[in-house]
Amino acid sequence: MSTTTPTRDTQANHRSSANDHSSANDRSSANDRSSAVATEPARLARARDWWGLAVLMLPVLIVSIDNTVLSFALPVIARDLQPSAALQLWIVDVYPLVLAALLVSMGNLGDRIGRRKLLLIGSVGFAVVSVLAANAPTAEALLVARALLGVFGAALMPCTLSLLRGMFLDRRQRRLAIAVWATGFAAGGAIGPIVGGVLLEHGHWGSVFLLAVPFLVPLLVLAPLLVTESRDPNPGPLDVVAIVLSMLTFAPVVFAIKHLATEGFDLVVVLGVVVGIAAGTVLVRRLLAQRNPLLDVRLFAVPAFTGSVLVNLVSVLSMVGLLYFLAQHLQLVMGMGPMEAGLVLLPGTLAMVVASLLVVRWVRRVPPAVLMSVGLGLAGIAYLVFAVTGGSSAVWVLATAFALLSIGVGMAETLSNDIIVAAVPPAKAGAASAVSETAYELGAVLGTSILGGILAASYAANLVVPAGLTSAQADAAGETLAGALDVADQLPADLAAVLADSARHAFDAGVVVTASVGVVLSILAIVLAARTVRGQRG
Candidate from 140-149, 231-240, 311-320, 377-386 with smallest mean pLDDT? 231-240
Q: Is the pLDDT of residue 21 over 50?
A: no
61 in Cβ contact with 188 (< 8 Å):
yes
Question: pTM of the predicted model, to two decimals?
Answer: 0.72
Residue 204 host element (H or E): none
Average pLDDT estimate for 361-367? 86
pLDDT at position 377: 94
C-alpha distances out from residue 139 to 82, 94, 113, 457, 500, Å: 7, 13, 35, 21, 24
The per-residue pLDDT of the chain, averaged, comes to 79
CA–CA dist 535, 368 (Å, integer): 9
Q: How many CB atoms lie within 10 A of CB 505?
A: 17
Q: Which pLDDT tens digit goes with each residue over 99-158?
A: 777 777 787 777 778 888 899 999 999 999 999 999 998 989 999 999 999 889 888 877
Are 21 and 125 a contacting pair, CB within 8 Å? Answer: no
Strand intervals (E) in 453-510: none
Buried b (16+ CB within 10 A) or exposed e, 358-377: ebbebbeeebbbebbbbbbb
Band of pLDDT at residue 281, cut at 50, 70 and 90: very high
In this predicted structure, the answer to whether residue 428 has a pLDDT above a threshold of 90 is: no
Q: Lowest-pLDDT range, 146-155, 203-212, 433-442, 450-459?
A: 433-442
Q: Provide the pLDDT confidence category of residue 77 given band limits of 50, 70 and 90.
A: confident
Q: For 287-341, what is each residue's pLDDT tens digit?
A: 898 877 777 788 788 888 888 888 888 888 888 888 878 888 888 888 887 778 8
Q: How far apart are CA 333 and CA 167, in angstroms?
A: 48
pLDDT of 536: 62
Chain segment 450-491, per-residue pLDDT in tens = 788 788 888 888 898 888 888 888 888 887 888 888 888 888
Higher-confidence position of 222 and 154: 222
Relative orientation angle of helices 240-263 and 85-113, to the nearest 10 degrees: 170
- Residue 199: pLDDT band (50, 70, 90) is confident
- Amino acid 381: pLDDT: 94
Q: Looking at per-residue confidence, does 172 or 20 come out higher?
A: 172
pLDDT digits (tens, 9 = 90+) for 501-525: 999 999 988 889 989 998 999 999 9
On the question of pLDDT at 255 being above 80, the answer is no
